[in-house]
Structure formats: structure tokens, C-alpha cells
Amino acid sequence: MHPGFGSGVDSTDPEDRINEVTVLAATHRVADVKTVGQGQTHLLHLSRFPDCWTIADGIWAFDGGVIANATYDM
């Protein structure tokens, strides 16, 4: 299966499921989210519309690890 955004929480295959969702930052209109599933990690930028959240942009990595794990003061 393609590792894009179509796989995940709706998948019927347990190997494709997202196991962890972490909200990295959020306001009432935008959010940054990290999802971790079997063999892949997604970093997503979400935008809020009146009736739903939608993925505006994202990158993914095939695991063996973390895309980024750092905190920066700005």
C-alpha cells in the first residue's frame, strides 16, 4: 500500500493503522501534528474549515526512527 495520507485510521489492515497522534502546536485555525504508524511517521500541517480539519501539507519518513526530535526557543 502507498504510504500516503489515504492509509491510516480508516484502514482495515492492522499493519496500516496509525498508532499515535501528537499535536505539536495548534491555534483555532491551524495545527501541526505528528502521526506514527507501522513503519512510517507523518508530520502534517492542518487547516481548519467551518466543518472540518484538512491536511494542507505533510511529509513522511519510513521508520527506523524519528523525523525530528528537537525543541527550539524562538
CA distances in angstroms from 43 to 17, 40, 51, 58, listed in the order given: 16, 10, 22, 5
Q: Count up the domains in the chain and report the number.
A: 1
- Calpha distance 67→50 (Å, rounded): 31
Domain span at residue 32 reads: 18-62
Q: Does a structural domain hold residue 4? A: no
Q: Does a structural domain hold residue 33? A: yes
Q: Does a structural domain hold residue 9? A: no
Whole-model pTM? 0.62
Neighbours of 63 (CB within 10 A): 13
Q: Does a structural domain hold residue 6? A: no
For the chain, how many helices (H) and strands (E)? 0, 4
Task: Reply yes or no on whether the pLDDT at 59 is more than 50.
Answer: yes
Q: Which residue has 528537537 as its cell numbers?
A: 70
Q: Does a structural domain hold residue 47? A: yes
Q: Does a structural domain hold residue 42? A: yes
Q: Does a structural domain hold residue 24? A: yes
pLDDT tens string 11-42 = 566 666 778 899 999 999 999 999 888 778 88
